[in-house]
Amino acid sequence: MSDHVSYSYYVGDNGLTLFNFGPTAFQNLMYQAAGDSETLPFLGRTRSINSIVLLSNGISFALQVVIFLILGSFADFGTWRPNILIGLSIVAFGIGFGWLGVHTEDKWHVGVGLYIVGLIAYQTTVTFWTAAFPGLARNTKDLRMKAEEYAEGRITRAEYDFVDMMKRNELSNTAFYTQSVFEILILAVIVGIMFGLKVNESEANNNWGLSVLIAFATGVWILCAIPWFLFEKRRPGQDPGNTNIILAGLKQLKYAIVQIWQLRQSLAYLAGYFLLGDSLNTTVTVIGTLQNEIVAYNSLQLTYLLIVGIAAQAVGIGAFWRIQKKFGLSTKTMFMVVAVCIVILDGWGMIGIWTQSFGFHKRWEVWVYQAFYGLLVCPWYSYSQTMISEVTPRGKEFLFFSLFSIIGKTSAFIGPLVSSAIIDDTGNNSSPFYFLFALSLASCVFLYFFVDVEKSRVEQEAFLEKEKSKKMESERV
């Protein structure tokens, strides 16, 4: 898979469709259907709009666990991964265009389905695409040369590991930066479309505008995905032998769960990753619901906000990579900077529990939030994934990415469900920040003190050597 082809797909899979505007369209229709009460019947009881959004979010993540259990390990066998990603992409395309038929308040129930399935499609496509990065890095010309130098004894293992780490960060950050730059251009076109549809003239126009921009961004995704569909190099994975591929995948996943107990550093990062990831995902959802209320679901205002956020994201990821490259900083160092910023974000929201003058209640705050989130929090989506590759044994990338995704999704529905229950109990849409701040802070402290990448590399080598010995013994038998 060439760099340009992989970047092309990632530019299209930017989240504008099902991660940004899809949830807004869903919440907007519920707001109109609810009227002055701002409540609707959902899953057996009357709930607030924010509570329904969080519950739907939790359901989406719970379903993702099942999907990763079925499909996750397939990516390690044969040439399944491209086919899985193509299939998931087609589902996402269908959901994106499906919003064209859902833009009136009476169809908010349909919006629930589009929202849940849309999040599943987006999250799974990103996960399967990201899992290719370690293999892509190790197949670059530079790293192949370093591998030869290491094999010949001209460089140490530590030197090779450092080059490997930097190459993975380079590819991940470059992809994220490229996506951000093109995303700004896409949003600029969307602004023109919104003016053409006169979204500010009526509620109906605004509803239709949200559906159209989701469909437009979906069309861009398709155009960007075609080169990847056609030209990606289908490198073979493991041979399942005579075992049914479904059983082989599940056995391998079970094997990973059992064996990860030998990889203590991988296990430690797994724990911290799913706790902090759960907190961030829920935080973004809660702030998103508050932001939508502040700007009254205006599609043009939301587009302007996203332009600021994505521009800040491009600057942030570019700055993070330049600083890392210049000073030779580790992946964990960069990751921890982002983790601290997530804690600050939740602290900001927590203040809003006690006062209406600060804490995501004012219009100016959502503009500052977009800049802060883009500059200092969005690098999470690059560095958290690169950190997975740091604690993953070579040749087991797809299996361990699937394992991390499964554990991550298992935890990711806990945060939204707890936050939804807190809102239902208190009636305060900011009240989940109590829980989220504590979760972020605890996760940040745990990751700093209990994850050691150098120790992880030693554990990985021992793990692979032990596996190699077992394989040789079984072949002799």
pLDDT at 410: 61
Task: State how far the Cα of 50 lies from the Cα of 288, in Å rounded to an integer.
Answer: 10
pLDDT tens-digit series, residues 155-211: 888 888 888 888 888 888 888 899 999 999 999 999 999 999 999 999 999 999 999
Cα–Cα nearest to 124, from 412, 422, 469, 392: 412
Please give the C-alpha separations between residue 447 and each of 29, 340, 409, 458, in angstroms, as whole numbers: 40, 11, 19, 19
Judged against a pLDDT cut of 80, whether residue 148 lies above it is answered with yes
What angle is formed at CA 428 by the lines to CA 425 and CA 433, rounded to 5 degrees?
95
The predicted model gives 405-427 an average pLDDT of 80
Locate the domains of the chain by residue range.
Answer: 3-476
Amino acid identity at 9: Y
The predicted model gives 102-130 an average pLDDT of 91
Q: Higher confidence at residue 407 or residue 158?
A: 158
pLDDT tens-digit series, residues 219-234: 999 999 998 888 876 6
Judged against a pLDDT cut of 60, whether residue 75 lies above it is answered with no
DSSP state of 72: G
Provide the whole-model pTM: 0.85
Judged against a pLDDT cut of 60, whether residue 107 lies above it is answered with yes
Judged against a pLDDT cut of 80, whether residue 423 lies above it is answered with yes
Kindly report the CATH number that applies to the domain delimited by 3-476: 1.20.1250.20
pLDDT at 160: 86
Task: State how far the Cα of 458 lies from the Cα of 456, in Å rounded to an integer.
Answer: 5
pLDDT tens-digit series, residues 442-452: 999 999 999 99
> DSSP assignment of 226-289, as one string?
HHHHHH------B--TTS-HHHHHHHHHHHHHHHGGG-HHHHHHHHHHHHHHHHHHHHHHHHHH
The predicted model gives 416-438 an average pLDDT of 92
